Amino acid sequence: MKVIEILRAIDEKTKRKFATAINYGLGADLDIPQWELELKTHNYKSGLRWDLINTSLMRDFDCDSVLFSIQKRGFFEFILMLHKPTNILFSFMKEDRLKEIIKSKPGETPHYYNALTMLNNDLKAQIEQLQIIPVQKFSFKDKQLSEMLNNLCHDLLEKKETLTCRHVIITFSSINKSLGSLKATILNSNFEIVDEESWNEFIPVVYEHDAEIIEIEDESEEEQEEISPEIKPEVLNRMKDFMTLKKQKDEKDFDISGEQ
């Protein structure tokens, strides 16, 4: 599969499913007892939000075309997801964390990510950097990384000797306990960006969250214009949609009952 075809092979239904699952995990109530949540991973209180995201993903993608593997590095548990129709291995990371990794010096990147990027080691970066001596992010030999990769993906091999797929990182940021951004990124073994694609258009609109951001009562149009520059564009657009829907509902109720 050509580089340009890797991300394009993921259909809109799958992208929307990722967005919905991660968004639900970000907004889930942390006060609910953990035993009631039936969490798939266990990162304790400091990592409970990740547990909710992992559990939401594993429940929403519970089908024959997807395989999951729960991994543990130190005290941190995370998931890998193999999407059979596209032969893509997905991992999940916060947007800021990926930026840190890309900017990090050789040897500072997580070892398991060094191994995962080997699945893309033949891919070239979007913009080739001019270097006299090629710089690689990992310090292990390829054989050691291959062994680490096989250990990471042992549950996904399905009696295959090696895993032949591509690795895609899904990154996200959050705003007020909901998705702020969603992106798919392909890195090669030098942690250079090979391809990336924004999935922001698939982020679900949750009007309840938007209504908590700012209260719009009976301000004049002039007063609303003074407030709007302080509101992020995507939030303002959602608020306008919310107010339009509310107005349509109020008009419908009026038509039915004959009074407001």
| The two structure tokens encoding residue 223 | 């007063």
Are the C-beta atoms of residues 196 and 185 closer than 8 Å to each other?
yes
More confident: 69 or 162: 69
What are the pLDDT digits (tens) for 13-47?
A: 999 999 999 999 998 877 776 667 789 998 887 78
Are the C-beta atoms of residues 143 and 111 closer than 8 Å to each other?
no
Determine the Cα–Cα distance for residues 51 and 25; give it in Å rounded to an integer.
Answer: 8
Determine the Cα–Cα distance for residues 94 and 102; give it in Å rounded to an integer.
Answer: 13
Q: What is the pLDDT of residue 111?
A: 78
| The two structure tokens encoding residue 101 | 């990794």
| The two structure tokens encoding residue 115 | 């191994």
Closest C-alpha among 66, 65, 70, 45 to residue 55: 70
What are the pLDDT digits (tens) for 86-110?
A: 999 999 999 999 999 888 866 777 7
More confident: 23 or 241: 23
Please give the single-letter amino acid code of residue 16. R
> Residue 244 carries which DSSP code?
H
Q: What is the pLDDT of residue 125?
A: 86
Pairing of strands 66-73, 178-187: unpaired
